[in-house]
Amino acid sequence: MDEAEIKVTLAKIKDAYWNQRLIDEDLICAVRSPEMMNVLFERLGSEDAAVYTEAAFALAEIAGESAKARLIECLASDRWQVRSAAAEGLGHYDDFKLTRHLIPLLNDPHPKVRMAVARTLESLRDPSAVPDLIEAIKDPDRHIYVYAVYALYEIVNEYEIPELFPYLKSDDVRMRVAAAYVLGAKGGKDAARGLIDLVRVGISGNQQEFEHALEHLLLIEGPIIDELIAVFDEYDPLLCQLVTPVLVKVGDQRALPHLIAAMGAEVDEVCDAATWGASQFGKAAIPFLLEAIKSENPRQRKYAARVLGRIQDASVVDDLVMLLNDSDMKVRLAALSALEDIGDVRAVEYIIPLLLGQEQNLDDEWLTASYAAQVLRGKLATPEGLEAVERWEREEGGNGV
């Protein structure tokens, strides 16, 4: 094989790396030639990651078994690039016998070698690697930590990993998070803290971790309610979004005072989570909400009114009517919206005055009147209400809703 043929083969390998359907008999024969094999093994030592990655791919995926023994030998190279590329290449083989050759390199002095080994062990899914992968979680390099956790996660999908259960109670948050991520709901109540910490501190910090934590918290039978409430009371938006569905699923009414109190928080996402959560308790939340609409905090009054509307119980109409004269425009609008949601026309006579005698030079009062008109023309439409709206629109010179 001359230089021109080698160059052509390397170009084909590059294309096949991105599209393995391009691997044909001609390419396989070319890669397995002694000359090409030597070139590829030399390229394992390249400083260019793309070069040694493609070489490792070609040796393992295209040359196959004929390259395996030599790739194993490369694990002992004095160059980290070669060790890393060889470890990565061995990940293309589905062979548990490779594990014993790879494990020692989890302690390699170069982090990229350790990372490549962890990634390969993730591909192999050999349960015999579990003790060493647990040790790898303690690696100070975050990348090795991440791939060691992912490797354990792949293994637990096929095998039991009892060695991880004690780490659910670890004082080391990284170990606790790793164990909870891998075991999930299998860890029972002991996994709850780690799953919450998974969102708090993360592994790699992607959205899937939030979804994973929520999924498994919801699967845990009888999670620790006091712990969930304590987390909710931190008023961290993401954590509130995480634990609220779990509190709702558990259905323990001890959560209600905390959900109602959070409606007065300064962060909208916290209030939104609390509002949704309280609404899911239905009529059981009403006594707490009726107290909340008397709060000195207008945010709490507003969100409490919204929840009363979502619950749609006509028994609270009189209480919501009281909010139509609230000093805060947003509270008035929330009360109007809630009354519309409930749909009890008894409220109409109390809504009509919002159209009359208002100081129209004040924007918030005009907005209140405008929204009142919208409600009176919608679900709460009555002859009296429609007449009042028409009169208001005439007085406003056609600027009504």
Instruction: With respect to residue 165, please indicate whether it lies within any of the assigned structural domains.
Output: yes
Instruction: With respect to residue 189, please indicate whether it lies within any of the assigned structural domains.
Output: yes
Helices and strands (DSSP H and E) totals, the chain = 24, 0
Instruction: With respect to residue 174, please indicate whether it lies within any of the assigned structural domains.
Output: yes
* pLDDT score, position 362: 61
* pLDDT score, position 357: 53
Question: pTM score, two decimals?
Answer: 0.83
Instruction: With respect to residue 191, please indicate whether it lies within any of the assigned structural domains.
Output: yes
Instruction: With respect to residue 216, please indicate whether it lies within any of the assigned structural domains.
Output: yes
Mean pLDDT, 10 residues at a time, over the chain (401 residues)? 89 94 93 93 91 92 93 95 94 94 97 96 96 96 95 95 96 96 95 95 87 95 89 96 96 96 97 98 97 97 98 96 93 96 95 74 77 94 94 73 44
Q: Structural domain of residue 193, as residue ranges? A: 160-222
- Tell me how long the chain is: 401
Instruction: With respect to residue 168, please indicate whether it lies within any of the assigned structural domains.
Output: yes
Could you give the number of structural domains in the chain?
1
Q: Which residue in 289, 359, 279, 270 sits closest to 311, CA to CA?
A: 279
Q: Residue by residue, what is the 3-state secondary structure of 135-202?
A: HHCCCCCHHHHHHHHHHHHHHHCCCCCHHHHHHHHCCCHHHHHHHHHHHHHHHHHHHHHHHHHHHHHC
Q: Cα(37)–Cα(62) distance, rounded to whole angstroms?
A: 11
Q: Cα(377)–Cα(268) distance, rounded to whole angstroms?
A: 30
Q: Cα(161)–Cα(164) distance, rounded to whole angstroms?
A: 6
CA of residue 343 relative to chain centroid, distance: 37
Cβ–Cβ under 8 Å, residues 313 and 286: yes
Instruction: With respect to residue 177, please indicate whether it lies within any of the assigned structural domains.
Output: yes
Instruction: With respect to residue 210, please indicate whether it lies within any of the assigned structural domains.
Output: yes
N- to C-terminal Cα distance for the chain?
82
* Residue indicated by tokens 């919450």: 196
